[in-house]
Amino acid sequence: MIQVNSLHKSFGAVQALRGVSFTAPDGCITGLLVPNGAGKTTTLRILYTLLKPDSGTASIDGYDTVSQSLDVQEHIGVLPESHGLYPRLTARENIRYYGQLRGLSGDQLEQKIAHLIELLEMSDIADRRTDGFSSGQRVKVAIARSLVHDPSNVLLDEPTNGLDVISTRAMRSFIRRLSESGKCVLFSSHIMQEVSALCDNIIILNRGEVVACGSPEELLRATGQSNLEEAFVSAIGSEEGLLRS
């Protein structure tokens, strides 16, 4: 479970976050719908401990992201926006490195890797060096290595970015299965349809603040609109920064 309470963060004169609060429960898919440049990456970076908030707190399974950052890192799996791989290592070696960094080894680790390779349907590329992989193949490797320790919380920053239609569909069903297995899934996107199709809960962030949150039905009721697209636009106040497809 992810709890965020009144996060503030500035970079110089730029106020990136101005009091962001939300909760993402276990067993649910929570979508962060954020126009570009509205504080998405900053929020996620605070959650995965690479940035410290100026004020406010964030916790994952009760561990504070600042004072207990190593505990937080034990309990999350993250696909950040930049998911660079090591081009001279094979896909399997890339995943194995992350498993070893998390203290896994031996048969236990190899079985988990094999399981993820099967789950993500990437056995054909598993033992090839990742140099020259397509973006879909790269995302698969990046997701596999972030889940190798079977974390209870999964943070995905635009996981379908740059994927073709087939890969996008596969990725969405993979995200659903993560949530069905009881994990807390927080994923960000600026693609409206994806958020509405996948999410149990939607958090709309704009200019560093939460402007609306709730289930799709609640959002419709709160904004008085008849479809989600209109609800988003009405919550954000403009269509700027959102993609429809």
Q: How far is the CB of 105 from another protein (least distance, A)?
A: 9
- Determine, following the binding rule CB under 8 A, whether residue 63 of this chain makes contact with another protein: no
| Residue (112 or 232) nearer to another protein, CB | 112
Q: How far is the CB of 15 from another protein (least distance, A)?
A: 16
Q: How many CB atoms lie within 10 A of CB 91?
A: 28
Integer-rounded Cα radius of gyration of the chain:
18
Tell whether residue 37 is a contact of another protein (CB under 8 A). Answer: no
**Is residue 224 within 8 Å of residue 230, measured between CB atoms?**
no
Choose which of 2, 17, 76, 228 interacts with another protein (CB under 8 A): 76
Comparing CB distances to another protein, the nearer of 162 and 237 is 162
Q: What angle do CA 149, 150, 156 make, to 5 degrees?
A: 100
CB 201 within 8 A of CB 212: no
Q: Give the span between the Cα atoms of 149 and 143, in whole angstroms.
A: 11
* Smallest separation, CB 150 to another protein (Å): 14
DSSP 52: -
* 102 binds another protein, rule: CB under 8 A: yes
Among residues 142, 144, 184, 203, the one that binds another protein under rule CB under 8 A: 142
25 close to 15: Cβ distance less than 8 angstroms = no
- Could you tell me the smallest distance in angstroms from the CB atom of residue 169 to another protein? 24
